[in-house]
Amino acid sequence: MLILLLLIQITILMKTLGVLNGLVVTTILLIGLILLCRFSLKMKLPKSRYSRITWEDMPWLYDGIARMANRARIQTPTIYIEDNPIPIAYSFQNSIVLSAGLFEILDRDEILAVAAHEIGHIKNGDTFLFPLLRYGKYVMGIMTLITVFIAKNSLTSLISVGVFLTYMVTLLRFLRKREFKADRIALQIAEVPYALKTALEELKFYEESMLGKDTPLPTIQPSLDRKENNYNQQTILFSTHPTYEERIAKIMSIVDMYRRLELLK
Ligand SMILES: [Zn+2]
Q: What SS3 string covers 132-160?
A: HHHHHHHHHHHHHHHHHHHCCCHHHHHHH
| Shared domain check, 118 and 67 | yes
pLDDT for residue 9: 87
Which tops the pLDDT comparison, 12 or 74?
74
pLDDT for residue 64: 95
Distance between Cα 110 and ligand 1 center (Å): 15
pLDDT category of residue 108 using cuts at 50, 70 and 90? very high
Spell out which residues have Cβ within 5 A of ligand 1, the ion.
179, 182, 222
| Shared domain check, 182 and 231 | yes
Please count the other Cβ atoms lying within 10 Å of the Cβ belonging to residue 43: 8
pLDDT for residue 252: 83
Helix (H, G, I), strand (E, B), or coil: what is residue 80?
A: strand
Domain boundary among 174, 207, 229: 174
Domain boundary among 140, 174, 208: 174
Distance between Cα 109 and ligand 1 center (Å): 18
In the chain, the amino acid numbered 258 is Y
145-203, pLDDT tens digit by residue? 888 888 877 888 889 899 999 999 999 899 989 999 999 999 999 988 889 999 998 88
Helix (H, G, I), strand (E, B), or coil: what is residue 67?
A: helix
Instruction: For residue 89, give the nearest of 244, 264, 223 by alpha carbon.
Output: 223
Distance between Cα 118 and ligand 1 center (Å): 6
| Shared domain check, 137 and 15 | yes
pLDDT category of residue 240 using cuts at 50, 70 and 90? low
pLDDT for residue 123: 95
Distance between Cα 32 and ligand 1 center (Å): 26
Indicate the average pLDDT of the chain. Answer: 83
Please count the other Cβ atoms lying within 10 Å of the Cβ belonging to residue 11: 14
Q: Which domain holds residue 14?
A: 2-42+129-174
Distance between Cα 3 and ligand 1 center (Å): 22
| Shared domain check, 144 and 111 | no
| Count of domains observed in the chain | 2
Distance between Cα 95 and ligand 1 center (Å): 13
Distance between Cα 120 and ligand 1 center (Å): 8
pLDDT category of residue 262 using cuts at 50, 70 and 90? low
| Shared domain check, 104 and 26 | no
